[in-house]
Structure 1
């Protein structure tokens, strides 16, 4: 993963099994995300649904990462970027180990390689941000963005709350919070009017 690059990160269950079965699974995954990635990426958006997850993140720049004890002894940019990718792998491994222990299962839980799509334009960034938050509607888990508990939407809908999200930067991509809310509602209406078979 390139330092300073914005990515849409996503992955799916390995097979038809849910990767989140109950509330505690969601909470634990986010706890592990914070543990492994808070100092590696700036997070703009996320959504967890039973069968997969999405994140919109920017990998911190190399000079910022090298101030982190996990990265400080790395010499080359290639090593820093490999370590940033490894932090995502550590998240998935730690979650899978706990999940397997809890549910008495064996083997991989996620598809082998997590997907990472570079974001190359403001329009692509906006569309990805909206898509992530609309995901529970697309997959028929809810009809309203705010009804789904396991997304970053609540942090944008309640700006007074504390959050680890990079909210000011994200809102800046939409100019202001009112436009962000308007665009989200328009996207929701389009999704609900589509045949999503």
Structure 2
């Protein structure tokens, strides 16, 4: 039975996630992360789209991608097939690197966009890779804290939702989410 075709709306924004096959690592060292980011930049040039936020975790990744004239499938298929060939060649592996198809969910409003960006930027904190999201190297969070000259990340769509001094407001928003998550964890542990 064929897989259902993904619905794509030009100009829509999507939360994209992908996981390593059997939850295995997609990235083993700095070179892997850097190579993925280089390929992501090439993919964005080949299939013009706006990358609004990202976070690369060892065994999965998150992207917030705004489409223009190409489907997210075009970009992700190119990116992940080229990266899988690199990874398998580097580590002398065969077979699938990614677990099934990537997941995508359309972001339908401003609240969902802010919430999703905070969620992905807090992923390394939740997984105990770092105490603060700004200390994690493989996410776009740093670009949201100060004006950035990055050619890959487009923070303007998210920051435009926050009015004056958006970099500071975004940091406060994410920090508040982090503290709420910690409080909920402590509250949950107290129930045992």
Please indicate the TM-score interval, normalised by the length of the shorter structure.
Answer: 0.7 to 0.9
State the match for 1:33 in structure 2. Answer: 40
**Deviant stretches of 4+, over 4 Å:** none
Question: Contact 1:45/1:152 (CA < 8 Å) preserved in 2?
Answer: yes
Q: Is the 2:145–2:170 Cα contact (8 Å) retained in structure 1?
A: no
45, 55, 67: which one aligns with 1:59: 67
Structure 1: runs of 5+ lacking an equivalent: 63-79
- Answer 1 or 2: higher relative contact order, Cα 8 Å, separation at least 6: 1
Aligned partner of 2:170 in structure 1 is: 180
Report the Cα distance in structure 2 between the residues aligned to 1:143 and 1:192, rounded to whole angstroms. Answer: 11
- Does 2:140 match 1:152? yes
| Structure 2 unpaired stretches of 5+ | 1-7
Question: What residue number does 1:139 align with?
Answer: 127
Q: Which moved more, 1:135-144 or 1:186-195?
A: 186-195
Normalising by structure 1, we get a TM-score of 0.83
Give the C-alpha shift of residue 19 in structure 1.
0.5
Q: How does 1:18-97 map to 2 (within 5 A)?
A: 18-38=25-45, 39-60=47-68, 62=69, 81=71, 84-97=72-85
Contact 2:39/2:83 (<8 A) preserved: yes
Q: Please give the TM-score of this superposition, normalised by the length of structure 2.
A: 0.86
Candidates 102, 116, 125, aligned match of 1:128:
116
